[in-house]
Amino acid sequence: MIADIQHALKELVYSEAALPRDALDVRFAAPTSAWVSGLTRPTLNFFLHDIRENMALRSSEFMHTYVAGGRQRDLVPRRIDLKYLVTVFFKSQVDELGRDEWNVLWRVLAALMRQDEWEDRYIPQAARDLDVGVLGVVGQPEGQASQGIFTSLGLPVRPHLNYTLTVPLNLNVSELSLLVLERRVDLRTGLEKPAADGPSMVRSSWIIRDEHGQAVADALVRSDQGGRAFSGPDGVVHLAVPREHVRILQVLTLDGQSLELPAQDAALLPPLTE
């Protein structure tokens, strides 16, 4: 990401500050005294001297996207500050085009301040894919801090800019929540006890016959446990109640007649426990 950002920054200052590409270099080196003495062309230099997280922009939120098979949660990118010391080096105060160091620095200052929030055309693809912008701030001179940087490089303090770029960093923290498309149903016989980890449904099956022993179809059956159901063509009726101690209260036929059937005349089928 840093290499992509610095390549984009180079294009930004060339374009926004209208710097001559054939007469001035833009570099990202540590400007030691030996490095400066070896320059052969006018050079604008961005020295990256500090990298740290921008805590004011930290977020612990997740972005949610739906993918094949479920929903993916991705931690939003962190925001990282890249701090640059910006300097201009000519062999003399005036180059062959009549532009001095201060003029170049002034034009660069205007270009960077104009792009406090980078336009999309300057944002590298790696940062654009994260859907987070790139911010640039020209800070106030840092006094002793800047002086310490020049001293450590073996250079006298010279006109400079303090420039901070805030760029996204993807931590690649994500999790996938699978989409459940089925449910499990366990069938057990009446001899098995229901599992203790959840409720079960008990269904009792009966055959309803009249006084002649014929199956009664389409009859409304009520029990003393509150169960209600219609019998099928074969006289079978299913009630969502256990068969133990169940008593048929009423059998109402399709023509509205009520059959009084003692419990012993109703043949029981094996119960089905679900």
Query: Given this model, what pLDDT does residue 262 score?
Result: 44
145: which 2 tokens? 């801090």
Q: Collect all residues with Cβ–Cβ distance below 8 Å to 241 and sequence separation of at least 6.
A: 202, 204, 223, 225, 226, 227
21: which 2 tokens? 């590409």
pLDDT level of residue 272 (50, 70, 90 thresholds): very low
pTM as predicted: 0.59
Tens of pLDDT, residue by residue over 143-195, are: 567 888 988 898 888 889 999 999 998 887 766 665 554 445 555 555 555 55
Q: How far apart are CA 218 and CA 129, in angstroms?
A: 66
Tens of pLDDT, residue by residue over 199-233, are: 555 667 777 777 777 777 777 777 766 677 777 77
